[in-house]
Amino acid sequence: MGSGSASQSRSRLYQRKVEGSPAQAYDLAAMARAPLISIVDDDDSLRISLASLIRSVGFTALSFASAEAFLGSTQARESDCLLLDVRMPGMNGLELQRHLAAANWRLPIIFITSHAGDDARAAALAAGAAGFLYKPFRDDELLNLMEAALRTP
C-alpha cells in the first residue's frame, strides 16, 4: 500500500468528520451511516494500516485476525464490504467466501494477497469477488474498488 493522489479526490466522495470542522459532502448520501468495512487478515500491521486508510475517508473499520474471528463477531453481519486475505491459518479467504455464499450472505469481497497465483484470483472472481489486489497496492486502487463495491446493489 502506498500513498497516492487519492486523498484529494476522496475528500469530494466521502464524508469525513474531523473534530472542530464541518463534515464534507459525499455522493453516497443514500447510506444512512458510514459504510462498515471489515478487514480479515492475519498480518497485524496490514490490518492497522488498512483500518487507518478506511477511517481517513470517513468509513468505519473492523479488523479480524482470522476468518473464524470474523464469523464469530456479532458485528460482522453489519459489514458493507469485506477486505479479505487469501492465505491465512485456519479457514482461508476462498473458504470464507464459499462459506458466506452458502449462507446467502451477500457481501462484496475484495481480496488482498501477496501469496496467491492466478488460480486463486480466477476462483475468487468467478465466485463473485468485487476485486482482487496483489500486495503491495496503491491506496487509490483499493479505494476505487471499495467505492465500486459499495455502489453495487
Task: Let me know if residue 58 belongs to a domain.
Answer: yes
For residue 130, being part of any structural domain is answered with: yes
Position 59 confidence tier, pLDDT thresholds 50, 70, 90: very high
What pLDDT, on the 0 to 100 scale, is given for residue 153? Answer: 74
Half-sphere exposure of 9 (CA within 13 A, CB side): 10
Hey, how many other C-beta atoms are within 10 angstroms of the C-beta on 45?
Answer: 8
Q: For position 99, which CATH number holds?
A: 3.40.50.2300
Tens digits of residue pLDDT in 76-112: 999 999 999 999 999 999 999 999 999 999 999 999 9
**What is the predicted pLDDT for the residue at 48?**
97
According to DSSP H, which parts of 57-105 are helical?
67-72, 93-102
Structural domain span for residue 55? 33-139
Quick one: pLDDT at residue 33? Answer: 85
Question: Is residue 17, in this structure, part of any structural domain at all?
Answer: no
Count of positions (residues) in the chain: 153
Residue 3 domain-assigned (yes or no): no
Task: Report residue 30's pLDDT band, with 50, 70 and 90 as the boundaries.
Answer: very low
Please give the tally of structural domains in the chain. Answer: 1
pLDDT for res 22: 32
